Structures are given as structure tokens and as C-alpha cells.
Amino acid sequence: MQKLNKSGLSNVLRRNILKGMMALPAAMLVSQLSLAAAMSTADVNTTGLAVTDDTVKVGILHSITGTMAISETGSVQAEMLAIEQINAMGGVLGRQIEYVQEDGASDWPTFAEKSKKLLVKDKAAAVFGCWTSASRKAVLPVFEQYNGMLYYPTFYEGLEQSPNVIYTGQEATQQIIAGIDWVTKTKDAKSFFLLGSDYIWPRTSNKIARKHIDKLGLKVVGEEYYPLGHTSFNSVINKIKLKKPDVIYAIVVGGSNVAFYKQLKAAGIDMTKEKPLVLTISVTEDEILGIGGENMQGAYAAMKYFQSLTNTNNQEFVAAFKKRWGDDIVIGDVTQAAYLGPWLWKAAVEKAGSFDIDKVRAASPNLELTTAPEGYVKVHENHHLWSKTRIGHALPNGQYEVVYETEDLIEPNPFPKGYQ
Amino acid sequence: MFADYTSSELTAIFAMQGFAGLILFSVFVLMALGLAIIFGQMGVINMAHGEFMILGAYITYLTSQLFSAYLPSLFDGYFFIAMLLAFVVTGALGALVEWAMIRHLYKRPLDTLLATWGLSLILQQLYRTVFGAREVGVSLPDWLMGSYAITDIIEVPINGIFVMVLTIFITIGVYLLMQKSRLGKQTRAVVQNRAMAGAVGINTEKVDRYTFALGCGIAGVAGSAFTMVGSTGPTAGQLYIVDTFLVVVFGGASSLLGTVASAFTISQAQSTMEFFLSGSMAKVLTLLTVVGILMLRPQGLFSLKVRR
């Protein structure tokens, strides 16, 4: 017994020495790569965040239970992947990222409570999280009061700009105007039927869409909203058939999506014939999983990211994502935007040379990211991202084929004049 | 309101909207029948009704996966087997739940509300763990997804007709079961006077279990059928529960005929108003009307005349 112990001890010793010897060149390499590793914790953290000599703590705050878990799961996976990749490259300012994950449970007061816990108790240097606008609005006062930094991934209605939030998804005008321009130019669309779930994002988005359609001198022949979770769309489909619009502009969300597209198909509207053509801004590859590729085939979607993008950044990202989370997983627009969060934060911290929220905020505008799966992105003064908008054409296998992308990055404009 | 349309279009509107209303009617009846049996005959408020429906939907999903993997040649007919399986499995779960939980709560009807609500949360989380948080896509045989064109405007969705036929069959089946069969007679006897029914030798516990299982089984079939028109996810059952209760309470809790009549009234009112007003306003007006009528007639449209 004693003998065993002894040899065990010497083994451990030998291993440690070996490890130390192996780590030596690695440590030299790291310190050469980033001078920042030499920076002392007192220098990079003057406000008492959870930063030690080798670690920094961040928060992940999404719903992993409740209704919204359907949508938010992808974002959690993307943020974890990004954090793991950053850690494998040596972390941020030489510090490994540790994340504290909290569950917002699809309940907005819970989001507020958990964000307070992440900021006050865990002293998280950044929080990646929220999905719905309602959850973001719930945590906003907390982030502003305790001066935290939130990276918010979802495309949303705009009309907001907080010093404590970086919006990595598109705001409404980026998504909408390019989509409508494309459909009028290439598909010669003259009349539109606007349809949405009944809450702030679809209503604001359709308002912007209507203004833009009016501006182009075209016609809106109908505008309809249904409560969230509505499951029978036969009446509105009948209305669409009578009004014969060129384009159905659909912003239906959640479970209602499945009902809407299945019933549209069952009612004899074949989207592949494009009479009428369906253009949506709310159905990503994630949603198609539930709808079924064969029921979505032929529809068009306007967003900034599709899994099928062929640039090398994206190919690497998709491969890494599948390796980490399984081969049959799909990646939607928001998942990609969530992946940008930790990278943008890393870039801001390194530019600032500090984890302090105020310095990270000051470093964020004009920050560039060349490794984003969607391609090059840049942070605007208003905390949103410059990004391209692409049009995807739904294939029966549940993927989108990219048929168009805007030439230039579109400037984010959360408070569009003339659209309110 | 009508000025924008020609007369032939108007005819088409009424034909199509009438039909849309009939489909909604069938969906409502199918949703509510299981609940009406349990609520009406046993006085148990089953908040987990939606989750039983979704279990049926998940079983349909599993069956479709099995068939496309092992028996692709028979895929066209899998739906019937899926519905049968859904009925059996959800019925069995219903019997289990009755045995483990509900039977201890018969004397405390309000507690069943809380207990079954808890059950619904447990089932939701169970589905999330087993099938994942994302919705699953149930692939349907092609013949169910098309439509039948009567004129160039009027087109009738085949899955709508399927739901209607199914509803008619199940309603007639339940009616015969309740009125003609031995179990039905025993059930009605227990509803009217539990102590007396027990005294003449009816095994009231067994009757309760079968009734609860039957209600849950029908919920399973409904869930299976709704994979054609709706989504299948852990929380999708919540989408149906409000409408279901609305139909049952409006119809009069202990009357199956009342359930059918109330489903008809609500669905026709809603689909007509949906056409002429916006979707959300139609819902508001429907709910307001129901509330108004229930204030005047708290027992619902139909009620059993039983001396209490």
C-alpha cells in the first residue's frame, strides 16, 4: 500500500515536471503572441469584475425551458462554441473565459432577476443573451443600473439604442428594405399582403414595410395580425386568394409558423409557382425543422445569414458547429449572430486593453470582425452592426439557397426617419 | 364592405368561409370531446389535456419515422396506424395517471386543477428532454397535403376534409358508446348518483378509470390529426387548451351535444369575423360574446336536467 502510494506520488511529480517543461515553450509563445498576457489584473480590471490572473467570468442568459427554448437553444450552443474556440486560442488578454449559464425560463421577470444575479453576484464581465424583445426590455434597466454589457443576437424591430447593449442581429430596416427592393426589382411585384403575429416586432416591421412600399408607389392590399400561437389560418388564406397579391409578406412566428405554412400548402397555394410569392423575415433554418422542408419549398427569406453561405469563414464555422453539436443540427440567422457576441467582446476588450465596461464600450464602435461566418462586419456608433442582407430561396431539404446579396454593407438605422 | 368584390367572388367567399368554419368546427369538436368527457362525466378539470394531445402528435411523429425507415412502401397508410397507436398509448397513460393521481382527488375538484397543471408541466419537460426543445417536423403522406379545386377560386384542402370525417366518426362513436354500451350506461349512472350506482353493483373505480382513459385517448387521436394543421413541440399543447376549455364551458359541462353545438357556434362566429375584421379583433369579439352569454346563462348552452 505504502509502496503504491510512493510510486503514485513520484509519478505525479514526474508528470508535473514534464508538464511544466512542455508548457514552457507554449507559455513563451502565448506571451509573444499577446503582450496583454503580461498585464496585471489590477490594470485590466479597475471596477471589480470577476477577473483573476488566469480567468474571466461571463454570463449566458437564455431560455432553456419554456416556450422560447425552441428558439434560444441554438444561440446557447453558438455562444458556448465561440467561448470554447476563444479559450483554445489562449483566451482574452491571456485569461480563459468561464461562463455562468442562467435560465430565463421564457419568463421576462425571471430574465431580469437572473441578469441582476449575473451582474451583482457573479460580476460577469459581459453577458450574452436574451432572444425576444420582451426579455431584452426586461433586462435593460438592470444592465443600465449596474453598468453591464449585453450582447443581444436577435433580429428585432429597432427603436432602441442602449449604451449597455451591442445588437449583433439586424434591426428592422436592414432586413426589410433590401428584401422589398429585391422583390420589386427582380420579381416585378406590384402588390403586397402583409401578415404577422400580433406583437411589437411584426407590427413595427410591417409598418416599415408599408411605408417603403408606399414610397415605391406600390400597393398594400391587406394587413392582418393573429395572436401568438394562433393555429387556424384558413380565413386569412381565403382573403389572400381573393385579393391576389403578388407577394405575401409573412412575419408569423413560433408554432403559428408551422400551422400557417402547412395550411397554405393544403389550400392549394404552391409557393414554387410564385403566384403569389412568399417573402418572410421570420423563418430561419431552425423554424423549417418544425415546418418541414417540403412545406416551405419555394418561399423566399430576407436575412443576413444562411447556413449555405459558401465563404470559407462560414464553411469552417459550420464544420466546427456540427463537430461540437452533432451532424444533423441546423444553423439559423440568430445562431450565427449569437456566435458573433463573444468574438466582438474579445475584440473590444483587446482593443481597450481592459475588461472595464466603460472602456469596452468606448472601444466597440468601428470595431471590425473579418472572421464572421456572415463575412466582414463592423460595429456602428449606434451599437448595431453594419451587415449585408441576403435573399434565400427555400429548398425541400430545409436549407436556403442564396439567390441575392446586397453589394454593400447596409448601415444600421434603429430610428429610421419617415418610417415611424 | 362588399363593394370591392363581384357577385361571383362573393359566392366564393361565402362558400370558402363556410368551409373554413366547418374545418375549424371539426378541430374544436375533436379538441374538446376528450375534455368534455372527463370534465362533464367526472368533474375533473384536466389542465394536462393539451399535453395528452401532444403525446398523440409525438407518437405520430415516431410512427412516421419508423415507417419511412423500415416500411417506406406502406408510408401512404401510416397515418391510420399512428392514430390507433396514439389512442392506445395516451389512453394507457391516462389510465395510469388516473390510478396514480386523480383517484385520490375526486373529493377535491379544485385540487385536480392544480395537480393536472403540475402534470402538464412535468409532461412538457419530459417531451423537451426526450424529443428536444425544438419542434419536430411530421412528414405526411402526399395524398393528405393537397387540395381539391372545385372552381378556380374555391379550393378545398384535403386534410380539412380528413379532419371533418374523422370528427364525425369519433363523435358518433362516442355517442353510441355513451348511450348504447354497457360502459356508457354505467358511466351515466355514476355521474347521476355515485353512491347509488355503487350500491347496485357498478364498480365505480373501474368506470372512472375507463372514462378518464377514453377522454385522454381521444385527446391523443386529436393530437395525431393536428399534426396536419399545426406544430408539434413540447409546449404546443398550450396553444389548444384555452379554446378547448372555452368550447366545453360554453357548451355546458356535462353535455356532449352542448359541446358540439358550442364548437359550431364559436367556430362559425370566429371564422366569419376573421374574414371581415382582423384576426385579433375576431378573437376579442368571440371571447366577449362568450363571456356575455355565460353571464346570462352560467350553466352553458345545454345542461342536464338532473335533480341534485
Determine the pLDDT at residue B128: 86
Terminal Cα-to-Cα distance of chain B (whole angstroms): 50
Using CA coordinates, name the residue in chain B closest to A106: B235
Determine the pLDDT at residue A171: 92
Chain A: closest CA distance from residue B136 (Å)? 5
Taking all residues of chain A, what is their mean pLDDT, rounded to a whole number? 88
Three-state DSSP class for B31?
Answer: helix
Q: Which residues of B185-200 are buried (b: 16+ CB within 10 A; e: fewer)?
A: ebbbbbbeeeeebeee
Nearest to B274 among A65, A67, A236 (CB): A236
Please name the residues in contact with A234: beta carbons below 8 A apart, sequence gap of 6 or more: A263, A267, B19, B20, B23, B24, B157, B160, B271
CB contact under 8 A, B128 and A65: yes
Using CA coordinates, name the residue in chain A closest to B228: A262
Determine the pLDDT at residue A188: 92
Band (A268; pLDDT cuts 50, 70, 90): confident
Q: Which residues of A touch B153 (CB under 8 A)?
A: 241-242
Q: How many angstroms separate the CA atoms of A261 and B26, rounded?
A: 20
Q: What would the pLDDT profile of A207-241 be if each residue is shown by its tens digit?
A: 999 999 999 999 999 999 988 878 888 888 888 98
Q: How many angstroms separate the CA atoms of B204 and A91, rounded?
A: 68
The residue of A231, A244, A256 whose CB has the most chain B CBs within 10 angstroms, and thus the best one to mutate to test that interface, is A231
Three-state DSSP class for A407?
Answer: coil
Chain A: closest CA distance from residue B40 (Å)? 26
| A-contacting residues in B 169-198 (Cβ below 8 Å) | none
- Say whether domain A173-303+391-405 belongs to CATH 3.40.50.1400: no
Q: What would the pLDDT profile of A342-397 be if each residue is shown by its tens digit?
A: 999 999 999 999 999 999 999 999 999 999 999 999 999 999 999 999 999 999 99
CB contact under 8 A, B133 and A290: no
pLDDT tens series, chain B, 308 aa: 555 667 777 777 778 888 888 888 988 898 898 888 888 778 888 899 999 999 999 999 999 889 888 888 888 888 899 999 999 999 999 999 999 998 888 878 788 889 999 999 999 989 988 888 777 878 888 787 777 777 776 778 888 888 899 999 999 998 898 889 988 889 888 888 888 888 998 998 899 899 999 999 999 999 998 888 888 888 888 878 888 888 888 888 667 888 899 999 888 888 888 888 877 888 888 889 889 988 888 888 777 665 54
Q: Which residues of B touch A236 (CB under 8 A)?
A: 274, 279
B164 touches chain A (CB under 8 A): no
**Domain residue extents for chain B:** 18-241
Element (DSSP H or E) covering residue A98: strand A96-103
CB contact under 8 A, B20 and A234: yes
Determine the pLDDT at residue B306: 54
Using CA coordinates, name the residue in chain B closest to A268: B147
pTM, two decimals, is 0.83
C-alpha cell at A6: 510512493
Three-state DSSP class for A156?
Answer: strand
Using CA coordinates, name the residue in chain B closest to A241: B153
| A-contacting residues in B 73-112 (Cβ below 8 Å) | none
CATH number of the A55-170+311-385 domain: 3.40.50.2300
CA distances from B182 to B35, B92, B306 (A): 21, 20, 21
- Name the interface residues of A facing B (CB cutoff 8 Å): 64-67, 69-70, 73, 198, 224-227, 229-232, 234-236, 238-239, 241-242, 254-259, 262-263, 265-268, 286-295
CB contact under 8 A, B278 and A224: yes
Query: Does the pLDDT value for residue A244 go beyond 50?
Result: yes
What is A55-81 written as a DSSP string?
Answer: EEEEEEEE-SSSTTHHHHHHHHHHHHH
Q: What would the pLDDT profile of A144-165 be if each residue is shown by its tens digit?
A: 999 999 999 999 988 899 999 9
Q: What would the pLDDT profile of A9-49 be if each residue is shown by its tens digit?
A: 444 444 444 444 444 444 444 444 444 445 788 889 999 99
The residue of A242, A260, A285, A329 whose CB has the most chain B CBs within 10 angstroms, and thus the best one to mutate to test that interface, is A242
Q: How many other C-beta atoms are found inside a 10 Å radius of the C-beta of residue B152?
A: 8
What is A14-58 written as a DSSP string?
Answer: HHHHHHHHHHHHHHHHHHHH-GGGGS-HHHH-SS--SB-SSEEEE
DSSP secondary structure code for residue B232 in this structure: B
Query: Does the pLDDT value for residue A281 go beyond 80?
Result: yes
Nearest to B274 among A229, A235, A291 (CB): A235
Sheet order of strands, A377-379 included: A368-369, A377-379, A385-386
Choice between A257 and B302, residue whose per-residue pLDDT is larger: A257
Chain A: closest CA distance from residue B216 (Å)? 21
Q: Which residues of A touch B145 (CB under 8 A)?
A: 262, 265-266, 295
CB contact under 8 A, B137 and A290: yes
B149 touches chain A (CB under 8 A): yes
Determine the pLDDT at residue A10: 44
Determine the pLDDT at residue B51: 93
CB contact under 8 A, B134 and A286: yes
Using CA coordinates, name the residue in chain B closest to A289: B137
C-alpha cell at B232: 408539434
Q: Which residues of A touch B26 (CB under 8 A)?
A: none
Q: What would the pLDDT profile of A288-345 be if each residue is shown by its tens digit?
A: 988 888 889 999 999 999 999 999 999 999 999 999 999 988 999 999 999 999 999 9
Q: What would the pLDDT profile of A72-116 be if each residue is shown by its tens digit?
A: 889 999 999 999 999 999 999 999 999 999 999 888 999 999 999
**Are B155 and A269 a contacting pair, CB within 8 Å?**
no
Q: How many CB pairs below 8 Å do chains A and B form together?
A: 141
